[in-house]
Structure 1
Amino acid sequence: MEATQMPDLPLILATVLILATLGGSAVLWMMRIMKPKHQIIPDPGIHAWSIGWVNFLIFICALIFGITFTQVAGSIVFREQIKAADGELTPWLGVLAVLLLQAPMFAVYILLRRFAPGQFADRLNKNEISLWQAACIAVPAFIRGLPIIWLCSMPWSYLLEIFQQAGWIKEPEPQALVTLLASGGNPFAILLLVFCAVIVAPVVEETVFRGCIYRFFKSQTTLIPAQVISAVIFSCLHLNLLSFFPLVIVGFLLSRAYEAGGNLKTSIIFHACFNSFTLVILYLTSISEVIPKL
């Protein structure tokens, strides 16, 4: 008599989570579509950042210099640890990689605001709202937007597969940190990576990409092109072909969330929700015996 195979709990949880997201998204879209026009409140929007191309290029060059200098200095200071890893990305090196990218970006932003306030100390927010008010805008926007991101990922993956079969590109790989989080490792280092992904990265990247880059392009063109351009730049920072187009959609939706709340808190919470959801799915994948591994 064959033994009864136990159901794979991570698979069940992942399925329930995905179905709940799809169902919630459908309900929220129906509520949005069926809402009477007289009850629709226009988005407060965000002020453009009218600093001119010269100051904007100074800002971009300062970011590039800050990131490059910090990463070169980090590679020198931690050369023994890097050498000991023998080319493998360990959890601790993952934490280091994240900090050496996020810290200089935020430092450049703070220093420019401090020492050149006339050009770089513009207000990021149009509305002053609480975290709860921002969450009430960002979380429904995230639930509505997540299936769109999934749908856009499918044709992009198919297109990359065609390019790969034609010999135009090599097989795209997931982001190194995504693979690292899925494979596990030192628990404390993994917790730090989770903290960086859910808290540090949303705060820093939203400040730079939505609070600065998006608002600058909004001063140079109309709303949609500004959102698309800043989203492409945001996606390029992640240096991953497999996630390039999905991250463009994420960047676009983050700009929409920023406009919807009139406050950077809304896009930060949206970003944190997206990263948190991704981490939960990665964790369930890593402990499942059925779900294919990355």
Structure 2
Amino acid sequence: MPNGPAQLSLVALEMTLLFGGAGFLLWLLVNARQRQRWLGTNALTYWEVSIPEFLMAAMLVFAGGFMVQAAVHSLAGPHLAGQADQAGLELFLYGAGFHGGILGGCSLFPLLRRRLYAEYGSQPPPLRAAPTLAWDRLLRYALGTLLVALPVLTVLSLGWTAGLRAAGLPDQPQDLIGVFIETRSPLVVTGMLLVACVLAPLSEELIFRAGLYRFIRQKLGRWPALLVSGVCFGILHGNWAGFLPLAVLGMLLALVYEATGSIRVPVLAHSLFNLNTILIVLSGLHDLSP
């Protein structure tokens, strides 16, 4: 149970965000103009990429992530055994390797694509520029997305957890929650925050929203794209307790990406969501959840 001044302050912040988000969501639901603005707008630019090129991009992204993570594991793994805060160090180093490798694969794709076209004396179709948002609007959209997500995912998590327990399925949260609780080194915690709030949101939004969602959206339409990208996002985290809430979070991030046309909005919203989750852990509120 939270008992210190800092923890009580975090509890107050979380309650403010949760109830403020519920009020904001209710306002959106009763405001037809705002609903149409977010659900009836497609500001995404067309992505001129073929199915083989998309598959090549997927191969580069995941190969980069797993190869770099494996290299970090091979080089650093033997030195981490028996270290204080071993679990936190592993989460930081292996996570940084995995997400860093993904970002490397994302950067490599356009270079290889141009080279393949150049071998046939051609150039790939130019990418259309995404809408540019000022930082104040970017922050406002990201905070709005967080406020909408919190009450929705809180209620959904309660029902999902009850359903898992009734079905006899595991309902334990991701291991990283326990790692954050047990880690004592401020430096290691800072490294884990870097992975959770910077590298992971950037790499995952590039994969699931800027890549998978946008590609399926322009091939099959909005709803198949929401379903496929959301389910894949939930599966990636490899945890029964978080699967449905994270799948729905992925769909919300895809909707705000489509409505604004800027990948920076879901990246920042994703980062704020992860930071908020860590604050819940630090505040002790996770002890009160199912």
| TM-score scaled by length of structure 1 | 0.83
Match of 1:28 among 24, 28, 39: 24
Name the Cα RMSD after superposition: 2.9
Contact 2:69 2:101 (8 Å CA) reproduced: no
Identical-residue share of aligned pairs (%): 20
Return the letter of the residue paired with 2:150: L
The answer to whether the Cα contact below 8 Å between 1:211 and 1:264 also exists between their aligned partners in 2 is yes
Query: Are 1:181 and 2:180 matched, yes or no?
Result: yes
Are residues 141 and 38 of structure 1, via their aligned partners in 2, closer, same or farther at CA, if it must alter by over 3 Å? closer
Change (3 A) 1:187 1:50: same
**Corresponding residue for residue 81 of structure 1:** 79
Asked if the contact 1:214/1:255 (under 8 Å) is kept, the reply is yes
User: What residue number does 1:136 align with?
Assistant: 140
Q: Deviations over 1:208-242 (max 9, x none)?
A: 22111111111221112202211111122211122
Match in the other structure for 2:69 = 71
Separation (CA, whole Å) in 1 of partners of 2:35 and 2:7: 41
Structure 1 residue 17: Cα displacement: 2.6
Contact kept in structure 2, 1:44 and 1:127, CA below 8 Å: no
Structure 1 residue 9: deviation in Å?
4.1
Q: Indicate yes or no: 2:109 matched with 1:105.
A: no
Question: Partners in 2 of 1:66 and 1:203 — Cα distance?
Answer: 15
Report the alpha carbon displacement of residue 115 of structure 1 after superposing the two structures with TM: 2.5
The answer to whether the Cα contact below 8 Å between 1:14 and 1:284 also exists between their aligned partners in 2 is yes
Residues 197 and 77 (structure 1), Cα distance of their counterparts in 2 relative to 1, 3 Å cut: same
Aligned residues: 279
**Preserved CA contact (<8 Å) 2:197 2:274:** yes
| Whole-angstrom distance in 2 between the partners of 1:9 and 1:264 | 37
Inter-partner Cα distance in structure 2 for 1:119 and 1:85: 49
CA distance in 2, matches of 1:32, 1:282: 29
Alpha-carbon offset, residue 98 of structure 1: 1.0
**Counterpart in 1 of 2:58?**
60
Which 4+ residue blocks in structure 1 deviate beyond 3 angstroms?
Answer: 6-15, 33-44, 82-86, 117-123, 290-294
8 A contact 2:141–2:265 mirrored in 1 = yes
Q: Name the residue aligned to 2:9.
A: 13
Pairwise CA distance, 1:33: 4.0
Give the partner amino acid of 1:134: L
CA distance 1:93–1:121, change in 2 (3 Å): farther
1:62, distance to aligned residue in structure 2 (A):
2.0
Asked whether the 8 Å contact 1:49–1:218 carries over to 2, the reply is no
SS state at 1:173 partner? coil
Query: Residue 107 of structure 1 aligns to which amino acid in structure 2?
Result: G
Note if 1:160 corresponds to 2:158: no
Could you tell me which residue of structure 2 aligns to residue 127 of structure 1?
131
Residues 38 and 69 (structure 1 numbering): CA distance in 2 closer, same or farther, change over 3 Å? closer
How much has 1:119 moved relative to structure 2?
A: 5.8
Equivalent-residue separation in structure 2 for 1:79 and 1:33 (angstroms): 50
Match of 1:47 among 45, 48, 58: 45
Once the two structures are superposed, residues 12-44 of structure 1 have per-residue CA deviations (whole angstroms, 9 ceiling, x without a partner) of 435423331233123323433454749964635
- Give the counterpart letter for 2:187 in structure 1: F
Question: Hey, what's the Cα distance between the residues in 1 that align with 2:55 and 2:257?
Answer: 23
Offset from partner CA, 1:44-99 (integer Å, 9 cap, x none): 5213435232222222222232223222222221232244459x852211111211
Q: 1:105-254 maps to which residues of 2 (within 5 A)?
A: 105-117=102-114, 122-123=127-128, 126-164=130-168, 169=169, 171-254=170-253
How far 1:196 moved relative to its partner? 1.9
Q: Say if 1:112 and 1:120, in contact at 8 Å, map to a contact too.
A: no
Match of 1:3 in 2: none
Question: In the aligned structure 1, how far is the partner of 2:124 from the partner of 2:152?
Answer: 37
